[in-house]
Amino acid sequence: MCADSLLDIAMLHADNIITKAKEGDKKALNQLVSLWYKRIYNYALKYCGDPDTTDEVTQQTFIAMFRNIKNLKDADRFKSWLYRIATNYCYEESRKRQRNPTVPLTISRDDNESDGSDAIEAKGVFFNPEKKYNQLEIEGILLSSLGELNEGERTVVIMKEYEGLKFTEIAHVLDASENTVKTRLYRGLKNLKDILERKNITKETVHYEL
């Protein structure tokens, strides 16, 4: 899903940077942040559902990366390792939130700011506000529905569907077998489908086949 930009290409060829980062090279560490910040942020956003928690999780993940990268044994496992850190913080923040539910007093910056798709659409003459509205509505429904899945299913669904991780990589992140990951993914997708159906989101009601 994400191997389409310069950033993504750089992510795939970052072995040299990881090696330098392991040696404490600050420039390399900053390069890793630049390469991975957006991915981890979007992963956490889909897991946590709200921008404030997402900011928190993403920042904690990279601070943990700075502190512990020297202990990373295999540079090839960097991706799984980073997602594992992010996943642990997602779980932790999510549980904290369940124990102490809060209501934000202000609208978060990210609630109002539009994403990059605005910029893309704005380039065209035929900017369609209705389409944009539908897009935001779909995103809202998906976020809340993902939030209804259990921890394990939600993690696997997001990692596979949005982060494009291979089954082996997800298995490394979760310290589980590939078969377990696949079974959990099937259950997660089926449950997500059922949740959406309860919200009257089906193939017939939403024309998402286009």
Partner 1 sequence: MNYKPDKATLTSFIYGELSKEEQEKVKTYLADHPELKKEVEEIRSLQKFMGGFQDKEVVEPLFVLDDTPRIIVSGNRKLDGFVKGTLAIAASIAVLILVGYFTSFSISTSAGGFHVSFGSFSPQEQPTAELNEESIKSWMQETLEASNENLINKINGVEYDLEAQSRQLTALRTVDKQSVNKMDEELLDSYVSQIKQENRDIIVNLLEVAGRDQKLYIDELMRDFANYVETKRQNDLKVIQAHLNSLANSGLNQLEDLHNSD
Closest to partner 1 by CB, 98 vs 107, is 107
Closest to partner 1 by CB, 101 vs 124, is 124
Q: Provide φ and ψ at 204, rounded to 5°.
A: -80, -40
Please give the C-alpha separations between residue 38 and each of 31, 35, 65, 67, in angstroms, as whole numbers: 12, 7, 15, 20
Element (H, E) at 125: none
What's the CA gap between 42 and 139, in Å, rounded?
12
Contacting residues toward partner 1, per CB under 8 A: 2, 5-7, 9-10, 16-17, 26-27, 29-31, 33-34, 37-38, 41-42, 45-46, 59, 62-63, 66-67, 109-110, 113-120, 122-123, 127, 129, 135, 138-139, 142-143, 160-162, 167, 178-179, 182-183, 185-187, 189-190, 192-193, 196, 201, 203, 206, 208-209
Quote the least distance from Cβ 146 to partner 1, whole Å. 9
Instruction: For the chain, list the strands marked E by DSSP.
Output: none
Specify the DSSP class assigned to residue 74. -
Closest to partner 1 by CB, 61 vs 87, is 61
Specify the DSSP class assigned to residue 165. -
Please give the C-alpha separations between residue 92 and each of 44, 50, 99, 114, in angstroms, as whole numbers: 12, 15, 11, 28
Quote the least distance from Cβ 148 to partner 1, whole Å. 14
Quote the least distance from Cβ 92 to partner 1, whole Å. 18
Closest to partner 1 by CB, 99 vs 156, is 156
Closest to partner 1 by CB, 92 vs 120, is 120
